[in-house]
Amino acid sequence: MSNKMWGGRFGGGPDAIMEDINASIEFDRKLAPQDIVASKAHVAMLASQGIVTPQAAASISTGLSDIAGEIAAGSFTFSRALEDIHMNIESRLASLAGADAGRLHTARSRNDQVAVDFRLWVRDTADALQLQMHALQLALATRAREHAKTIMPGFTHLQTAQPVTFGHHLLAYVEMLGRDRGRLRDARARMNECPLGAAALAGTSFPIDRHQTARALGFDRPTANSLDSVSDRDFALEVLGAAAICAMHLSRLAEELVLWVTPQFGFVALSDKFTTGSSIMPQKRNPDAAELVRGKTGRIYGALTGLLVVMKGLPLTYSKDMQEDKEGTFDALEALSLCLAAMTGMILDLAVDTKRMKRAAGAGFSTATDLADWLVCHLNLPFREAHHVTGRLVALAEARHCGLEDLSLDEMRRVHAAITPEIYGVLGVRRSVESRTSYGGTAPKNVAAAARRWLARLAKEAKTFHPQEPTA
Ligand code: ARG
C-alpha cells in the first residue's frame, strides 16, 4: 500500500513502515501476565478510592481474567495495528466489558504501566535466576565434597603451578556464584518499588492510593518521584550487570570443561547428554553445551551494553527509545537461565579421571615450591636463596628429562651440599596438598570442611526461599 506523498520511492506505504518501527507486540506480549495483574491491582485501587464504581471494577477485573485465559489458551488474537501489549489488552477488554473498560486507564498512562510491567518481569526473573544459581552451587558443592581429596594441577598462566584438589577448584565457583546471587539480591531490594501511579510523568490529580497498588504487587513501597518512576531503567541494568558477571563466571568454567575434555588433558568426560558427535569424524565427542555457555556470554554482555547506550542520551522522562529495553533484557536473562541449567546438568554428570588428574598434577615440577619451603624450614635458607637453589634443581631435572623426585641425592648435593634424604618426602603431590592447611588453602581436610559448610548453608537457604508464586 503506497502513500500518496512518497509512495513513488517507497515500496510499502509509510503507515506500514511506521507500524514496523513502532510496534512492540511481537516481543512485549511476554508481559501480558504482568500487565493483567498490574491492571487488576490498579482497578481494585480505583474502586476502593471511589474513583470507579465497584460494578465497573468488577466487570473490568472479570474481563481481564478472561483475557488471561484466552492468552494462556492461545486463542487471543494479537494485533500489530494495536502496537503493544497494553493496547492489545485494553482493546480486547473493550469488547468484553463494554463501556466500563475505558475507565481502567483513569489515573494511569502507558508510561507507568510499562514501567511496572517490565519491573515485575525483571524482578520475578531475577528471583528465578537466584534459585537456579543456588541449584548450581549445590551441584558444585556436592561434587566438591566427593572430590575433596582428588589431586589435580593448579594453574597460573595456564602453566602447571602447584597441586591442588579438584574439590577446591569446584568450590572456587561456589564462592563466585554466592557473590552472583548476592548481587541479584541487592538489585532486587533496590528495584522493589512500584512506579504505578506516576501516570504519564507528573503524577495525577485523582485521589489514588499508590501504597495499596504497591502492596498488592509485592513491592515494598511506591517509588518516590514520578519523573524518575517513568524514566528509570536502572533496575534492568543492574540485573543485566549481575547477569553479565555471572555469565562471565559460567564462561570461565565452560572454558575449563572444554579444555579438560580434550584428549590432551583428559581430566573429565562429559556424558552423552551434554555432548554431540561429528558427522564426519566418528571418534569425536564435542562439548557443545559448554561451548554455548561460553558463547552465549557474548549476547548477555551485548544486552547490557545495548541498554546502557540506549539510555545514555535520554532527557527525562520517557522517550520511545526506551521500548528498546525489552528484547535484549528478555533474551539475556533467558540465555543466562539456560546456561545455568546446562552447567548444572554437566557438573552433576561429569565423570572424573582421578588418575590422569593426579599424574598431571605431578608434571611440570609442580612441587618445586614445596622443595623451596623445605630448604627454608630445614636448612634455614632465606626464601630467596631457597628459590634459587630450587631453580637450579629444576633446571637439572629438566636437562635430565626427569622429575625432581628422580634426581639422586648426590646430584642434589652438588647443587646444595646440606640437602638430606628427607627432602624426598615433600616431592610428592599428596604431601604437597596436605601441607596447604592455611585458611582457604587446598588441603583435603580444609576442602572437605568447606564443602560441608557450603552444603549446610545451601540446605538452610533452600528452606528460606519462599516458593514465591511469581506475581503474574
Ligand atoms: N510500548 C511502549 C514501551 O514499551 C509502551 C509505552 C508507550 N508510551 C508512550 N508514551 N508512547 O515503551
Average pLDDT value for residue range 67-81:
97
Query: pLDDT-derived band of residue 13, with 50, 70 and 90 as boundaries?
Result: very low
Q: Would the pLDDT of 88 be above 60?
A: yes
For residue 113, report the distance from its CA to the centre of ligand 1, in Å: 9
Structure confidence at residue 1 as a pLDDT band (50, 70, 90): very low
**7 alpha carbon – ligand 1 mean position (Å):** 28
Q: Average pLDDT, stretch 353-368?
A: 92
The beta strands (E) that lie in 176-264 are given as 193-194, 221-222
* Residue 31, ligand 1, Cβ within 6 A: no
What is the spatial distance between Cα 250 and Cα 257, in angstroms, rounded to a whole number? 10
AA identity, residue 117? D
Q: What atom of ligand 1 comes closest to residue 326's alpha carbon?
A: 4
Question: Higher confidence at residue 406 or residue 140?
Answer: 140
Q: What is the pLDDT confidence band of residue 464, given thresholds at 50, 70 and 90?
A: confident
What pLDDT does residue 225 have? 98
Q: Which of 119, 231, 320 to mutate to test the pocket of ligand 1 (most atoms within 8 A of CB)?
A: 320
Nearest atom of ligand 1 to the alpha carbon of 320:
12
- pLDDT, residue 12, reads 56
Q: Is 238 in the pocket of ligand 1 (CB under 6 A)?
A: no
CA of 284 to the centre of ligand 1 (A): 50
The residues with which 276 forms a beta bridge, in sequence order, are 286
Give the pLDDT of residue 465: 75
Mean pLDDT, to the nearest integer, of 341-351? 97
Which residue owns the Cα nearest ligand 1 atom 1?
84
**Angle at 240 (CA atoms; ends 340, 321), nearest 5 degrees:** 135
pLDDT 10s digits, 388-402: 999 999 999 999 999
Cα-only R_g, the chain? 31
Q: Once rounded to an integer, what is the mean pLDDT over residues 445-456?
A: 98
**DSSP symbol at 422:** G
Query: Counting every residue, how long is the chain?
Result: 472
Residue recorded with cell 466487570: 59
**CB distance 111 to ligand 1 below 6 Å:** yes
Identify the pLDDT of residue 156. 96
pLDDT value, residue 3: 31
Give residue 428's pLDDT band: very low, low, confident or very high (50, 70, 90): confident
Q: Which atom of ligand 1 is nearest to the CA of 24?
A: 1
Share of the chain residues as helix, strand and coil, in percent rounded to the nearest 5:
70, 5, 25
Residue 293 sits at the vertex; the CA angle it makes with 290 and 297, to the nearest 5 degrees, is: 150
Give the C-alpha distances (Å, rounded to integers) separating 338 from 48, 303, 405. Answer: 42, 16, 47
pTM (2 d.p.): 0.92
Measured from the CB, is residue 370 less than 6 Å from ligand 1? no
Please report which confidence band the pLDDT of residue 35 belongs to, taking 50, 70 and 90 as the band edges. very high
238-276 confidence digits (pLDDT tens): 999 999 999 999 999 999 999 999 999 999 999 988 888
> Tens digit of pLDDT for each residue in 166-196?
999 999 999 999 999 999 999 999 999 999 9
- Kindly state if the Cβ of 322 falls inside 6 Å of ligand 1: yes
Give 392-397's long-range contacts (Cβ < 8 A, gap of 24+): 393/368, 394/365, 394/368, 397/365
Return the pLDDT at 366. 87
For residue 275, the model assigns a pLDDT of 87
Confidence of residue 4 (pLDDT cuts 50, 70, 90): very low
Q: Which residues are catalytic?
A: 157, 278
Does the CB atom of residue 199 touch ligand 1 within 6 A?
Answer: no
Best mutation site among 89, 114, 201, 322 for ligand 1 pocket (most ligand atoms within 8 Å of CB):
114
Local confidence band at 471 (pLDDT 50, 70, 90 cut-offs): low
- Cβ 24 under 6 angstroms from ligand 1: yes
Residue 328 has pLDDT above 60, yes or no: yes
State the pLDDT confidence band at 283, using cuts at 50, 70 and 90: confident
Burial class of residue 399, CB neighbours in 10 A (0-12, 13-18, 19+): exposed
Confidence class for position 5, pLDDT limits 50, 70, 90: very low
The residue ranking higher by pLDDT, 387 or 9, is 387
Q: Which three cell numbers stand for residue 276?
A: 554431540
